[in-house]
Structures are given as C-alpha cells and as structure tokens.
Structure 1
C-alpha cells in the first residue's frame, strides 16, 4: 500500500479507503488533463476484488473515459474534486469493492468493448478537509459505483467511477 492511501475499517465494520493528500485542487475547475496523466500509471495493472475474487484490469481506455465521460462533465464543485482525487485510491477501492451487480449493454456504442455487459461494484473512500491553517480537521466520506466492462476476451476492465455521493453521516475523524 502506498504512503498517502490506506484501507481502514470504520466504526460500522465497513472498509474504507482513506486518501490523506489532496493532489487535484481548484476553486472553479479541475485540470482533467493532469488527472488523465496521473491515471496512466495504472494502465496494464490488475487488481483483485477481495469480495468476489474478480481480477479487474486497467486498460488504455480508462484515462480518457474517466476524465472525458458525460458523467465527469456533469460534475461540479466538491464532487468533481472528489472524483479527481479518488484516482489516488483506485487500487485500494477495487480491493474493497463489494455488491457486484450485472447490467446488460444498452447501446451500440459498447457492443465491441463490453461484449458481455457491465458490472458495478460499490466502494468507499475518504478525503481530508483542511482548516484555515492547513491542518486536517476531518475526512469527508464518499460512496462510488465502479463501472467495469466485461470484454470479449473474458477479462474485466475498470471503465469509470460513477454516482459519487458524499455520505451524510458524521464525517470521519482520526
């Protein structure tokens, strides 16, 4: 596991990926080209989802889809910042993912790259919230759906992260 990302168990005995550093900042907008560049480090890697024993690969299409999807363009403010910074915890978020749900292909666009349909997995991560002095005062916890395509070769590939929702329960504190 990397220095600024760790997996913990919260008070409800649920796993959570804690990301301790904000890499992508922006008052108005995120520089998605920087996020895309960051994502390229994962291409060619694979990660095991502990809950289902599924191996999920990171293909060459992830950086473009993650940063250029309709969903990404619809994000504003804190959710855009959350999606950008979630990139740091992708390996760990896949590791703790659960709740595998199948979805059929609904459009012609993906008949080639998701021949066997789609899967969604639920995962969670936390990002720091800083006070005026730059000290972490708490962590906001987010729930996400990890969209995985089931390719013609039988492999699963991470395609995007969707449905980012800040959990409204008490913010997480160390």
Structure 2
C-alpha cells in the first residue's frame, strides 16, 4: 500500500520521537519517563494512521491526556506558567485542543481554524527550536551519552509543535 507524503512525514516524526523516548528512558533508567511520554508517541502514531476510525479516538484521547498533564504540571509549579515559555506552552495546548477538534471532525479546510492552529503552535515551536539549537551548539564539541540524552529530550519537545504545524499546513493545502 502506497503511503501519502503526509503519512511519510508523520511516520518519520513518530519514529524519531519513539527512538528518542526509548533512548532517554533507557539512559536515565526510568520506566516512568517512557510511560509519561507514551501519549505523545500515540498522538504521532494517530497522525500517521491518518483518519481511520481508531486514529481519531487515539488522537483525541492522547490530546486530552496531554492537556490534563500540562494542567497538572502548571498546578504543581504555577510560576512556570507565568513565564514567556510557559505562556507559549499554554497557547500550544490551546492549539492542540483546536487541532484535536479539527482532526475529529475532519475540518482542516476551515481557514479560520487552521490559521489559528498554526499561529497558536508557532511560538512554542520557535521557543523549542531556539532551545534545541542552543543545546546543540553547547554540546557539539563534547559529544557523550549525557549530551545525546539532552539532545534527545530537546528533540522530543521540538517535534510536538512542529508536527501540529506540519500536519495542519499539509491538510490545509490538500497535500496528501
């Protein structure tokens, strides 16, 4: 069965995040890290499956768990929510809510919603890309297992907003 361009892109993102989560979980020796990032992996797997009945359910449930997880994280440390990266994360999860609604109802062609998703996810993508690049520049001269773990962890955070923006843009432009 031939996969569409959108499915191939989402599969690459899924594979990168799955490998990064497994590597980081094994490196720190904590199974809870793998379990806590399982919903992000399921979210990307649902994007790869691309509009089967099960993928809609998996995406909405994983989005709900990710939203609840960030709310609980901000409840434990409310000062993070008031920082600029924290506000970008809050806006990203509003975009995730709109994205899950659009995915469930298959309404990515409504321009006001799709533009809103992209605009809301963009600040988090910029912050995480900036963090990833600064971490990458810091560890490039001294590559060891710890620096690879830090890069893998930063890559997990980077792919989440990028996947939302990429999938929305591809669906909006009707690119299969």
TM-score normalised per structure 2: 0.26
Identify, as 1 or 2, the structure richer in strand. Answer: 1
Report the TM-score, using the length of structure 1 for normalisation: 0.27
Return the structure number with greater relative CO, CA threshold 8 A, min gap 6: 2
Structure with the larger helix share: 2
